[in-house]
Structure 1
Amino acid sequence: MPVLHNRVSNEELKARLMDETFRRVTISFYQYFPIVNPQEFRDVLYRSMNELGVFGRIYVAKEGINAQISVPEHNMEAFRSFLYSIPHLDGLRLNIAVDDDGKSFWVLKIKVRDKIVADGIDDPAFSMERKGKYVNAREMNELLTDPNTIVIDMRNHYEYEVGHFDRALEVPSDTFRDQLPMAVDMMRGNEDKNIIMYCTGGIRCEKASAYMLHKGFENVFHLEGGIINYAKQTKEEGLDSRFIGKNFVFDNRLGERITEDVIAKCHQCGQPCDTHTNCANDGCHLLFIQCPSCAAEYEGCCSKECHETIHLPLERQKELRQGTDNGQHIFNKSKARLRPRLNEGKF
C-alpha cells in the first residue's frame, strides 16, 4: 500500500522545488457535486496527483471539491485526462493564474472536511442544486452599467481593500458564515434588483447566490470563475476591466495585479500601497499592508512592539510565543483588530 501523505520535511521540499528545471502552472478549481465517500475519493486523488508531481492543497467534502494546486507543465495533459475522467468533473473550467512563477506550493495536501466552504447553514431545505445565473466578463460589464444592479463582494476585508469591482458593496465580516445572513439583511427591500455576487474563484459566490435564492430573492447572478476567470476573459476579449486594483490570492504571492490602480494604503504610513505581508515576528504573523519604506524601517514587522521582539534573543522570543510573560496580544485578520494593532506600533 503506497504512502498517502507526505513524509519529507518542508525545508527539503522547498529546496527540491527551487531546484526544479521545468515550469509549473498554478491552477484553481472547484465543483459542487455529491461525494458519497469523501475519504475514498481523497485517496484516489492523492495517488494519481502525487504520481503527476502535483503540489497544492485540496479540500474534499460530501458537497464537492475545492483545489488550489500547481502542475508540472509537461504533465498538464495527463492531469486534465485524469481530472476529466471523474464523473461530474469532465470539462470542468480550470482557473489558471495570470501572474505566477509556479512556485506557490511545495507539497500535496488533500484533506477531508465537513464542507468545502464553511457556511454555517443548518437548514436541511437548503440545496446547491438551485443557484444564481452564471455571468461571464462581458455580461458582468453590461450588468454593471444598469442602475438596477447591485454588486456584492463575498470576500474578506483584506481582499476587498486591495481590489474590487466598481460600485461593489463590502459585507463587513471576516467569515463567510457571518456574511451570508448579513448579505440577506443588507439586500432586504431590494428584491426587485439584479444582485450579482462575486469572489476570488467563484466558490463562495456560487454558494452565496444559492443562499440568496433560498431566502426569496429572484434576480440573483454570480460571476462565473470569480475574479480570476474575469481577468482572463477581459484580457482575451479586449474588454475594459471593471475590477480595479489587485486580486488577493491565498498562496505565497498574496495577490495578482488586475489593473495598475493602487487603491489601498500602507497600514503604517498611509502612502498608496497594496502589498500584503505577514509580520516578521514569529509570535504575530499578522497579515497587513506595508510599503517598501516601512518594510525597511520596521524590518517587516507590523508594530514597534514586534520590531523590538525580533531583536530579542531567540530563547526569549520562544518564551513569548509560548505565553510565558507574554506582553503581546493574539491578533487575527479581523478588520476590527487590525487598526488598533498597527496604530500602537507607529514610531
Structure 2
Amino acid sequence: MALHNRVSAEVLKQQLAEETFERKTVSFYQYANIEDPQAFRDQLYTQFFNLQVFGRIYVAHEGINAQISVPAHNFDAFREALYSHSFLHGIRLNVAVDDNGKSFWVLKIKVRDKIVADGIDDPTFNIMNRGQYLDAKGFNELADDKDTIIIDMRNHYEYEVGHFENAIEIPSDTFREQLPMAVEMMKDNKDKNIIMYCTGGIRCEKASAYMLHNGFKNIYHLEGGIIEYTNKARQQELPIKFKGKNFVFDDRLGERIGDEIISQCHQCGAPCDSHTNCANEGCHLLFIQCEACAAKHQGCCSEACHDVVQLPLEEQEKLRKGIDKGQMIFNKSKQRLRPRLNQE
C-alpha cells in the first residue's frame, strides 16, 4: 500500500460527511528517543490507515505528537495498536471536550526535526528534567494561592478566546519566542510557585524543563493540559477555572469549556470567539468573525480580500499562484492582522 494519501481533499471531505458512525477526537504525545523516526512513521501509518484513523501526527527523534480522529468502533483496536509500541504503552489519551466527530478528514504523518519547534540549541538541555505534574485538583489548590503565578504557554490567538483565571500571557506568535520571553518575564520570581499550561500538555512540559534549565525552582505543569483538566474536573465535580473557549488545531478551531465569551469580533467588536479562515484562498488568514460580519464580508478579513473573491475563479487562481499560505491557516500574527483590519 502507498504510505501517503492519494485521494483529493474534496473526495475525502465528502466521504467524511457521508460517514454514519461516530468518531472520537483524541490527542496524545510522548517525549522519547526514537532511533529511526522514518521507519516508525511508516509502521504507524500502516496501522492507523487500516483503522480509518484521520489526523495530524509528527514524529521526531525526540518523540511523537498527535491529534487524530478515530472511529468509535475501532477505538479499542486503535489503542491496542498504539500500545503495541513499548514507549507508548499506557500513554494518556486526551479525549476532546466538545467534539462533533469532524475534526480531521485525512491521515498525515510527518517526520520532523522536533515534535515541538523550540529554538533550543543548548546540548545540555534535558527534556526529561521537567517540572512537577499537577492534576485538576492539584491545579485548583495551587491556583488558589495568591502568590502562585500561572503562565499560558500557547499562542496569543489561543489565549485570546479562553484562558485560566489570572493566567499571564507570554505575548508572542511562536513557542520558540515564548521560551526566552518567559524566562525574562519571570526572572524576579525564581523562587515562587509557577504553573505552566497549554492545550494538551506537550508545550508546557517542555517549557517547564526549560525554566528549570534556567535556574527556576518550583515549576509545575498541568498534566494533559486544558483538555485533561476539563475532563477530570467535570468527572470529579470540581470548579472549572478555565474561562471561554479552548482553541484547537483542527477543523473545529475550538471547543467550548466555559459559557463566557471573553473575546471580540475583529471587524465590528461584538462579543465573539468564533475563529475562521479568510475566504480568500490567497490569504486564508485566521481571525475572529461574528455571523453578521461573515455575511457582510462574505467570510473575508478585509475589503481587499472581499474584492478578490468577487473575481472569476480563474482570476483568483492567477492571483494566488506561487503564494505559500500553508502557515497562515494557524497564523493570526498581531503584526499581520492589524493592517488588514485597519482597512475596514
Deviations 1:56-84 (A, max 9, x none): 11100000000011111111111111111
1:147 aligns with 2:151: no
In the alignment, is the contact (CA less than 8 A) between 2:198 and 2:225 conserved in 1? yes
State the match for 1:178 in structure 2.
Answer: 177
State the match for 1:58 in structure 2.
Answer: 57
C-alpha distance in structure 2 between counterparts of 1:41 and 1:170, whole Å: 36
State the match for 2:117 in structure 1.
Answer: 118
The residue identity in structure 2 corresponding to 1:297 is K
Aligned to 2:251, the other structure's residue is in SS state coil
RMSD over aligned Cα, in angstroms?
1.4
Task: State the 1:234 CA deviation.
Answer: 1.3
Task: State the 1:12 CA deviation.
Answer: 1.3
1:229 aligns with 2:228: yes
Pairs within 5 Å for 1:148-167? 148-167=147-166
Evaluate the alpha carbon distance shift between residue 110 and residue 237 of structure 1 in structure 2; reply closer, same or farther with a 3 A threshold. same
The residue identity in structure 2 corresponding to 1:67 is A
Pairs within 5 Å for 1:121-270? 121-270=120-269
1:103 aligns with 2:84: no
Task: State the 1:141 CA deviation.
Answer: 0.9
Aligned to 2:190, the other structure's residue is in SS state coil
Of the structure 1 ranges 213-222 and 308-317, higher mean CA displacement relative to structure 2 is found in 308-317
Of the structure 1 ranges 11-20 and 183-192, higher mean CA displacement relative to structure 2 is found in 11-20
The residue identity in structure 2 corresponding to 1:72 is P
The residue identity in structure 2 corresponding to 1:319 is K
C-alpha distance in structure 1 between counterparts of 2:266 and 2:86, whole Å: 47
Task: State the 1:313 CA deviation.
Answer: 2.3
In the alignment, is the contact (CA less than 8 A) between 2:190 and 2:216 conserved in 1? yes
After superposing on structure 2, the runs of 4+ consecutive aligned residues of structure 1 that deviate more than 4 Å are none
Pairs within 5 Å for 1:302-317? 302-317=301-316
Aligned to 1:161, the other structure's residue is in SS state helix
1:3 aligns with 2:15: no
The residue identity in structure 2 corresponding to 1:245 is G
C-alpha distance in structure 1 between counterparts of 2:114 and 2:253, whole Å: 24
The residue identity in structure 2 corresponding to 1:58 is I
Deviations 1:301-335 (A, max 9, x none): 111111122112223222322379xxxxx995211
C-alpha distance in structure 1 between counterparts of 2:51 and 2:320, whole Å: 39
Deviations 1:19-45 (A, max 9, x none): 212111110000001101101111110
Structure 1 segments unaligned to the other structure (5+ residues): 325-329
The residue identity in structure 1 corresponding to 2:37 is P
Deviations 1:264-321 (A, max 9, x none): 0010111110000011111111100011111111111111111122112223222322
Of the structure 1 ranges 139-148 and 205-214, higher mean CA displacement relative to structure 2 is found in 139-148
C-alpha distance in structure 2 between counterparts of 1:287 and 1:32, whole Å: 29
The residue identity in structure 1 corresponding to 2:153 is M
Task: State the 1:16 CA deviation.
Answer: 1.4
Task: State the 1:224 CA deviation.
Answer: 0.4
The count of aligned residue pairs is: 339
Structure 2 segments unaligned to the other structure (5+ residues): none
C-alpha distance in structure 1 between counterparts of 2:48 and 2:83, whole Å: 13
C-alpha distance in structure 1 between counterparts of 2:267 and 2:319, whole Å: 24
State the match for 1:320 in structure 2.
Answer: 319
Task: State the 1:140 CA deviation.
Answer: 0.8
C-alpha distance in structure 2 between counterparts of 1:80 and 1:317, whole Å: 44
State the match for 1:327 in structure 2.
Answer: none
The residue identity in structure 2 corresponding to 1:280 is A
C-alpha distance in structure 2 between counterparts of 1:3 and 1:318, whole Å: 30
Pairs within 5 Å for 1:61-72? 61-72=60-71
The residue identity in structure 1 corresponding to 2:190 is E
Scaled by the length of structure 1, what TM-score is found? Answer: 0.95
C-alpha distance in structure 2 between counterparts of 1:316 and 1:21, whole Å: 38
Aligned to 1:235, the other structure's residue is in SS state helix
Deviations 1:149-208 (A, max 9, x none): 111111111100000011111111111111000000000010111111100100000000
The residue identity in structure 2 corresponding to 1:315 is E
C-alpha distance in structure 2 between counterparts of 1:264 and 1:340, whole Å: 19
1:76 aligns with 2:69: no
